[in-house]
Structure 1
Amino acid sequence: MRELVVLGTASQVPTRTRNHNGYLLRWDGEGLLFDPGEGTQRQMIHAGVAASQITRICLTHVHGDHCYGLPGVLSRMALDKVPHPVHLHYPASGEEVVRALVSVASPGIDLRLHPHGGFAYGGVAHAGPNHRAAEPIAPGLEVRPLNHRIEAYGYRLMEPDGRTFLRERLAAAGITGPDIGRLHREGGLDGVRLEDVSVPRPGQRFAFIMDTAPCEGAEELAEGADLLVTECTFSDDDAELASQFRHLTAGQAGDLAASGGAGTLVLTHFSSRYGDVAPLAEQARSRSAGARVLAAMDLDRIQFPPRRVHPS
């Protein structure tokens, strides 16, 4: 199952209908919790999300609305005796804050800390002189630097590209049963090539972009995203405020979707000044080049879009 569970959609100030940030991505066997703000533990209960489902926690930065829920979530995981390791990814510059938050959580889980950062470009952890050759921070999981008032990073989860078999071609070639797996592993079988009986299957991509002004890192994260989650703190009418505090307007979020060719754009992290966010969704939609645009509400469950069809 691949699904995004929205736990909170407010920015700095929560409202009666919007909790602080929190997003759980169910991705096959993993559960990635992004930016757990204050109240995330309670929102998990409302959403029917069990603490045992969380395998990784990813912080974009250490402003409170993106991380103050961390101790509660970790404490709940300890209470529930979660048996598996939990990996915590965060900017290295936030080490002091993260360790303080972890220190007040209940002990009892196998928590593994993974600070990242220290690179100018390339989006991978602990980049050295040859940063383009470095490994992602976890299998399929990458980061890119954003442009906020403190060091911040966005995340991207990518499935490897694969192949989709065509039944009629397999039948015509007389390949059935275990021989299909062998053909896939070896690339050929009895004169039949893998490409003769299959077509490319682009791997799915998820991108998560929070507090940032428009920047190259955000554009790279959005590239080819099937599901793009991005902050939408301000209306286009408040572009000066967005620039001052280094946030995105709704239209700029739409621009990201358009430039990256995103399939579905999920807007969130709304300022409390907007009781109705429908106009923000319209602003984003007008500049999204046809991407599906959703203005997230707390406790929404968003299914991953169907796989894209390869142009060939």
Structure 2
Amino acid sequence: MSMDMTFLGTGSAYPSPQRGASALVLRTQGECWLFDCGEGTQTQLMKSQLRAGRITKVFISHLHGDHLFGLPGLLCTVSLNTNPEQQNLNCVDIYGPRGLRHFLRVTLGLTGSQLLFPYAVHELEPTTDQSPEEGQLSLEMTVECGPLHPQEQQGRTISLDVSSDCYLLFEDKKFVVKAFRLFHRIPSFGFCIQEHDRAGRLKTEILKELGLKPGPLYGRLKAGEPVTLESGRVVLPGEVLEEAIPGRKVCILGDCSSVLGEGPLRLCNGADVLVHEATLGDEHREKAVDHGHSTPKMAAAVALACCAQRLVLYHFSQRYKPCSLQKEGEEDDVSELKRQADDALQDSGVEVTLAEDFLTLPIPLRRPR
């Protein structure tokens, strides 16, 4: 099963001619999940090889505009390209902090926007230690948010599971997705996408020796069920299956100056890819922290604590131009951010990647244990 992520916007604060505002898409088997949706995301989607209509889930890390302002427009554009005669349209599930439901209801309601597909907003209940006191004030206005939008289905309110120090968003046959707390100027979250282990390949030579031909019994063994032969012998899956293929793990962090608690580090342990912001260089650490952001060295420390295999830096200040536009000797060289992370990760084996708009990063299958 192929999996990759495409960065649609890698800049902070606002979209510019050089960098779009925060947005990336995780794609697997034709299904697309969008993480953050800054202003201009739908334009970035049109420039990419991705199709907005394939987005089935949206994850908003926090409610700052450079991660959110593009969402109402994107939903409307997807609706315009939806066939009104199509039956049983899938619901788009949207996950984000408390206040996201209120934002969408007011925005879509005041603009008279009509969507042709159903959507549901699932809100994460923040804790009081996720931001400075002033960062909690805006949430007090979001308790009452009026009636459902005509296309809105009832969503859930998801509270922190104290025992695991994370939020269970959903689990299906392929993935389990959880969120965890970050410290920022307003409540912010990270997301962990864990793929379930996949059954190993069938040992067809052994199956042939046993007289089993390709068909439903192969499927039962692949699904982990024992099969009884005509002779009465019971064939166990472990006899005819190669080692299981471990599931991949992708962790995407929103804006933060720190990760809260030990739970997120355990949750992200061994991540194939850890996506972490690096808004400013290490020489601007004090300014970064004052604004609730991180530097490359800070991101590297999280990658080391999680034993991640690859660290991807993104959410750069607009002062850092993409490498292709950087002139030799020019200040604020974005390549310096990678060097700073590499220095902090020296001899650790963690690979560092600088995200650029429209970069597509394949996430290969893991080897059997």
**What's the TM-score bracket when you normalise by the shorter of the two chains?**
0.7 to 0.9
Q: Distance in 2 between matches of 1:2 and 1:24?
A: 11
Q: CA-atom RMSD, angstroms?
A: 2.9
Q: Is 1:185 matched with 2:223? A: yes
Q: Distance in 1 between matches of 2:57 and 2:159?
A: 21
Aligned position for 1:56: 57
Deviates more, 1:274-283 or 1:214-223: 214-223
Deviation at 1:32? Answer: 0.8
C-alpha deviations, 1:198-250, integer Å up to 9, x for none? 21321111111020112236534532221222211121111111221121211
Deviation at 1:33? Answer: 1.0
Aligned position for 2:299: 253
The AA in structure 2 aligned to 1:85 is: C
Deviation at 1:28? Answer: 2.6
Q: Distance in 1 between matches of 2:355 and 2:255?
A: 16
C-alpha deviations, 1:87-132, integer Å up to 9, x for none? 11111144433433443473123121111225699xx962378765
Give the gaps of 5 or more residues in structure 1. none
The AA in structure 2 aligned to 1:180 is: Y
Q: Distance in 1 between matches of 2:343 and 2:106?
A: 43
Deviation at 1:287? Answer: 3.1
- Alignment CA distance shift 1:219-1:213 (3 Å): farther
Give the gaps of 5 or more residues in structure 2. 84-88, 130-155, 228-232, 322-332
- What is the number of residues matched between the two proteins? 308
Deviates more, 1:100-109 or 1:141-150: 100-109
Deviation at 1:85? Answer: 1.6
Q: Is 1:269 matched with 2:328? A: no
Higher Cα Rg, which structure: 2
Structure 1 segment 41-190 matched on structure 2, within 5 A:
41-81=42-82, 83-103=89-109, 104=111, 106-108=113-115, 109-118=117-126, 126-127=158-159, 132=164, 136-139=168-171, 140-165=176-201, 167=203, 170=206, 174=210, 177-178=214-215, 179-189=217-227, 190=233
Contact 2:92 2:119 in 1 (8 A): yes
TM-score, with structure 2 as normaliser:
0.74
TM-score, with structure 1 as normaliser:
0.87
2:159 aligned counterpart, secondary structure: coil
Deviation at 1:281? Answer: 1.2
Q: Distance in 1 between matches of 2:123 and 2:69?
A: 17
- Alignment CA distance shift 1:151-1:17 (3 Å): same
Structure 1 segment 288-303 matched on structure 2, within 5 A:
288=345, 289-303=348-362
From 186, 198, 211, the equivalent of 2:242 is: 198
Q: Distance in 2 between matches of 1:61 and 1:95?
A: 12
Deviation at 1:35? Answer: 0.8
Q: Distance in 2 between matches of 1:209 and 1:8?
A: 14
Q: Distance in 2 between matches of 1:214 and 1:134?
A: 15
- Alignment CA distance shift 1:195-1:251 (3 Å): farther
- Alignment CA distance shift 1:184-1:168 (3 Å): closer
The AA in structure 2 aligned to 1:282 is: R
Deviation at 1:192? Answer: 4.5
Q: Is 1:284 matched with 2:341? A: yes
Q: Distance in 2 between matches of 1:286 and 1:57?
A: 34
